[in-house]
A and B are shown apart, each in its own frame.
Chain A
Amino acid sequence: MGFLRQVWVVTMKDLRAEIRTKEAINASLAFSIVILLLFSFAFDPTDETMRGLSGGLLWIVFAFAGTLMLNRSFARELPNDCLDALVAAPIPTSALFLGKCLANYVLVLAVELVSLPVFGIFYNVHWARQIPELLLVLMLGSWALTVIGTIFSALTVNIKLREVMLPMLTYPILIPALMSAMQLTTALVGGTPINSDTIDSLKMLVGFDVIFTAVSLVLVETVLVG
């Protein structure tokens, strides 16, 4: 079986399990909508203020909601010792990791795509003025969140306080990616396309994704087997 097929099998298994239970996506979606609602009471939702805050606010919500989802990624394998069976299967652990990343990525993106219109309604912001570029930033930023979250989900899977440990480990490493995504999102929601002022942030986001995906793929065997 080819590497990509192995990745696909793991991805579909995780998505099918999540669609059946909906435990992570429901929690993540509800959390993001509640946070957006609460912040809408805290700020005066005028156009100008909200355009300035949009990137930071959205990515904080995405990061918090994302870790709720990512916490379940490897924890899902624990109840019946399924992780042992996956590690024992004759597939590279990198295929297992990428399969889980892709499933998480789809779920994280789904939550973000629902949250964006909700953000637009609660804060009276026309967020869709640069939609292709905004989607690109969402995809790059979400991949950064997913890769880091998934590898740390594997690392913390046997820790009792993993729900606390995952954000504590994930957020500091994500800072460069989050800052870039926040800056780009603020500009794009404000209607400014990616230009010479923001292109470095885009490069940073791409570089972050490439480097941390490669590092995670190399380290995952050690993380899972020791």
Chain B
Amino acid sequence: MSAVAVEDVWKFYGDYPALRDVRLEAAPGSCLALIGRNGAGKTTLLRIIAGFSKAQRGKIKIHGADPRETETRRQLGFLGHGIAVYDELSALENLTLYGKLYNLKDPHQSALEWLERTGLERVRNGLVREFSRGMRQRLAVARAFLHEPSVLLLDEPFTALDDRAIAVLQRLLREALAAGKTIVMSTHQLREALELATHVALLSRGQLAYHGACTPEMVADPGYIYARYGEA
């Protein structure tokens, strides 16, 4: 069974079809890089997979189940454009809050562990509004990984990250892949993404232009996939 299955999905914004009959899947333990130009529909597709938005036609299955089912949501980790942590709360309070919402056994202890893994243990009681951008991003990464999701959905995860946060994220993604977790990430930073990706899906104006294995040609030349399958 696929970890993520997108079955003939259509999404309209008014009359405009943002996604047109998209069909793809990601096997357990694979990393699917979702690429495409701005406005191609990558974020829309990720939001539908995450269950934040509904497709007008077609279905999404996460391990065979609807993404809005409670048990399915427990298996999903989403890292979007926003950091999804509260400025008025401390780093520890934020992670403990999400730990409670995900019903972790010991939310406080899990929060402390992830603050340590992301290098934020010294500022654990500091309010997020006082954090630098890099620290906020590392906290967002900790928030997405906190509940050990089996499927990670990452929307342009490397954009605007500082060097340290990129290193932390790449290490965590490699560990996740090694542990058999599934990653679906949209990105414009092909070099970083294709180093991790086992599969690639190219979206062009809401349609799937390519979906298949990540080949050595793609890794060697990140522009190859656009030249071969993308828009002129």
Contact = CB atoms under 8 A, between A and B. Distances in A.
A113 B87 CA distance: 29
A81 B70 contact: no
Contacts of A84: 50, 52, 78, 80, 82, 84
B159 interface: no
Interface in B62-115: 68, 70-71, 73-74, 76, 78, 80-89, 93, 97-98, 100-103
A121 B160 CA distance: 56
A90 B88 contact: no
Given A9-B97, A13-B97, A80-B84, A85 B89 contact: no
Given A9-B100, A13-B97, A90 B71 contact: yes
Contacts of A92: 70
A17 interface: yes
A90 B101 contact: yes
B54 interface: yes
Nearest to B97: A13
Contacts of B51: 87-88, 225
B53 interface: yes
B138 interface: no
Contacts of B88: 16-17, 20-21
B86 A225 contact: no
Interface of A is mostly: helix
Contact of B89 (A6, A16, A87): A16
A91 B83 CA distance: 20
B52 A87 contact: yes
Contacts of B143: 85
A1 B100 CA distance: 8
Chain B contact patch, size range? 20 to 34
A79 B87 contact: yes
B106 to A, nearest CB: 13
A6 B101 contact: yes
Contacts of A85: 78, 84-85, 98, 143
A95 to B, nearest CB: 9
A172 interface: no
Interface residues of A, number: 25
B56 to A, nearest CB: 10
Contacts of B89: 13, 16-17, 20
A226 B56 CA distance: 10
Given A88-B50, A88-B78, A81 B102 contact: no
Nearest to A85: B84
A1 B147 CA distance: 14
Contacts of B97: 9, 13
Given A90-B73, A90-B74, A82 B100 contact: no
B84 to A, nearest CB: 4
Contacts of B93: 16
B73 to A, nearest CB: 4
A175 interface: no
B101 A80 contact: no
Contacts of B82: 79-82, 84
A120 B62 CA distance: 59
A21 B101 CA distance: 23
Interface of B: 50-54, 68, 70-71, 73-74, 76, 78, 80-89, 93, 97-98, 100-103, 127, 143
Given A84-B50, A221-B68, 5 more contacts: A9-B97, A21-B88, A82-B84, A85-B85, A88-B76
